Chain A
Amino acid sequence: EAGVAQSPRYKIIEKRQSVAFWCNPISGHATLYWYQQILGQGPKLLIQFQNNGVVDDSQLPKDRFSAERLKGVDSTLKIQPAKLEDSAVYLCASSFGGGLYEQYFGPGTRLTVT
């Protein structure tokens, strides 16, 4: 079974530029999560999708971050404009259902904002 795919693996941008990350979850997984993991900390949930609908985006900085999952499969996370404090690893995870199910993580995208 193919795992969660993410691209790119690394990205370096200057502040005020925009960037987009892509995630392809495990086939059949209805729930998709985007996390931000700052160095030395645990992952923090940014947004949760159930199929193509948003379940929780309470911790997403909506003035600069946006995410979509148009067909209920792939998802993109965008930052525009980026700030220095956005430097982190962005993790995508998927699960068969909601909170009672194991989440499977992708390799992450390491973003450096200079």
Chain B
Amino acid sequence: AQTVTQSQPEMSVQEAETVTLSCTYDTSESNYYLFWYKQPPSRQMILVIRQEAYKQQNATENRFSVNFQKAAKSFSLKISDSQLGDTAMYFCAAPSGNTPLVFGKGTRLSVIA
């Protein structure tokens, strides 16, 4: 069973606009971290942002922020002022059982000039 679900296989956004990528997860952990990773075309995976589950405040990292709804097990990523360099696959990741991180299937984001 898929424990991390990204419901948007592909998205596009105009340069300088804002876009939100969705993610839901399922975990029985009480203290955990959630992550968004970015994988540009033919380049390696890098961390975009992480959220500590016990913190109510949503994480923010420059133009990237999350909307974390713990009760709903929802963890969406908002990218403001989108740039061409934001074009990439974005993966949401959460712990599941004994596995530290389970990744979703990804959302392919295209930023259009």
A: residues with CB less than 8 A from B are 33, 40-45, 48, 55-56, 58, 91, 93, 98-100, 102-108
Contacts and interface: CB of A to CB of B under 8 A. Distances in A.
Contacts of B37: 105
Interface in B54-101: 91, 93, 95, 98-101
A85 B102 CA distance: 21
DSSP majority for the B interface?
A: strand
A107 B44 contact: yes
Contacts of A48: 100
Interface of B: 4, 31-33, 35, 37, 43-47, 50, 91, 93, 95, 98-106
9 contacts: A40-B106, A41-B105, A42-B106, A43-B103, A45-B102, A93-B45, A102-B35, A106-B44, A108-B44
Contacts of A102: 35, 47, 50
Contacts of B105: 40-42
Q: Taking chain A's interface residues, is the majority helix, strand, or loop, or is none over half, making it mixed?
A: loop
Contact of A56 (B4, B33, B98, B106): B98
Contacts of B103: 42-44
Contacts of B99: 45, 56
Given A41-B106, A42-B91, A98 B47 contact: no
B12 to A, nearest CB: 17
Please provide the 6 A-B residue pairs with the shortest distance between their CB atoms, ordered closest to farther.
A42-B103, A99-B100, A105-B45, A107-B44, A43-B103, A42-B91
A48 B95 CA distance: 14
B91 to A, nearest CB: 5
B44 A58 contact: no
A41 B37 CA distance: 13
B41 to A, nearest CB: 13
A41 B101 CA distance: 15
